[in-house]
């Protein structure tokens, strides 16, 4: 019981303390004085700048003007120096060099562009393939660019005027070059560019005993009569074949092609669009 009494007494003390604090706060708010409604607070007036009233000594302003006048350069008093003859000539030379350099800078790209254009036009020509003799490398209707030259390399595709009557130029691949060994057996022609001398008669009995690099071609009678006269392809002449052997009129029919009749080497195909690229 004693413990319960002590607990209640503590609670009473705490409640009294809180009540006393609230009364003190109320009394303090009541005691504060409020300013009357009609009165306005006076704002502090800015202090006047005394620096503007201060007078500077009389002698201090004049020297500044004098110094400023001295500092400003007088343009009228300046005179251009007369150039000597040597200096005048040097300036002339410099101007000439600058003008020449500017002209070169302007003309050089123009000249280079013109040279490239003329070189391309004079050394190339466009063609359209007609026929299927070069399948599958080139198809009918392909448009190609021919680089003009009279000395093609082995296995390059060339355009040339055929030694037969034709309104069009032919497109074929170079197989035999000047200096290649050639020999005939029946209606067959053998071409070899690796051997140094013709094989013996005993070596010609079996095809599997032919020298490495030998090409066997079946010829027409006119072409066979021509090729039977040579042991080597003469200088300036070429043996050509179409890639589509079964549908091609080439050296098997009309014999060797003169180098002077060659227009150039087919190097690039520019149409159709899906086949654009270099030709090998």
Listed in sequence order, the residues at least 6 apart from 138 whose beta carbon sits closer than 8 Å to its beta carbon are 129, 144, 157, 171, 243, 266, 269, 279
Kindly list the distances between the CA atom of residue 240 and the CA atoms of 184, 207, 226, 245, in Å, as whole numbers in the listed order. 17, 22, 14, 11
Kindly list the distances between the CA atom of residue 201 and the CA atoms of 2, 122, 205, 207, 209, in Å, as whole numbers in the listed order. 147, 50, 7, 12, 11
Clarify whether 248 is annotated catalytic.
no
Clarify whether 172 is annotated catalytic.
yes
Q: Which one of 172, 223, 248, 251 is the catalytic residue?
A: 172
Phi and psi of 271, rounded to 5°? -160, 145
Q: Which one of 26, 75, 133, 200 is the catalytic residue?
A: 133
CA angle 118, 122, 124 (to 5 degrees): 115
CB-facing half-sphere around the CA of 159: CA atoms within 13 A: 22
| 3-state SS string for 155-199 | CCEEEECCCCCCCCCEEEEEEECCCCEEEEECCEEEEECCCCCCC
**Tokens found for residue 248:** 């091609």
d(CA 229, CA 239): 15
d(CA 171, CA 168): 10
Sign (positive/negative) of CA torsion 82, 86, 89, 91? negative
d(CA 134, CA 172): 7
Catalytic residues: 133, 172
């Amino acid at each position: 019981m004693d413990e319960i009494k002590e607990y209640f007494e503590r609670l009473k003390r705490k409640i009294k303390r809180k009540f006393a604090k609230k009364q003190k706060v109320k009394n303090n708010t009541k005691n504060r004085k409020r300013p009357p409604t009609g009165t306005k607070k006076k704002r502090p007036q800015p202090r006047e700048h005394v620096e503007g009233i201060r007078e500077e000594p009389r002698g201090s302003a004049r020297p500044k003007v004098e110094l400023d006048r001295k500092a400003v350069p007088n343009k009228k008093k300046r005179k251009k120096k007369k150039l000597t003859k040597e200096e005048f000539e040097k300036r002339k030379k410099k101007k000439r060099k600058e003008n020449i350099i500017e002209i070169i800078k302007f003309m050089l790209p123009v000249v280079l562009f013109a040279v490239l254009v003329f070189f391309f036009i004079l050394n190339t020509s466009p063609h359209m393939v007609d026929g299927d003799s070069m399948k599958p490398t080139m198809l009918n209707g392909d448009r190609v660019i021919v680089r003009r030259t009279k000395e093609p390399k082995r296995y390059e595709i060339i355009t040339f005027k055929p030694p037969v009557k034709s309104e069009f130029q032919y497109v074929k691949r170079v197989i035999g070059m000047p200096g290649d060994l050639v020999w005939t057996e029946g209606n067959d022609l053998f071409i070899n560019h690796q051997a140094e001398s013709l094989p013996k008669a005993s070596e010609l009995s079996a095809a599997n005993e032919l020298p490495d690099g030998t090409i066997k071609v079946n010829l027409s009678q006119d072409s066979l009569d021509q090729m039977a006269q040579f042991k080597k392809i003469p200088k300036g002449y070429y043996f050509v074949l179409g890639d589509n052997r079964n549908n091609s009129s080439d050296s098997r029919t009309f014999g060797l092609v003169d180098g002077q009749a060659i227009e150039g080497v087919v190097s690039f195909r520019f149409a159709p669009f899906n086949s654009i690229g270099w030709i090998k």
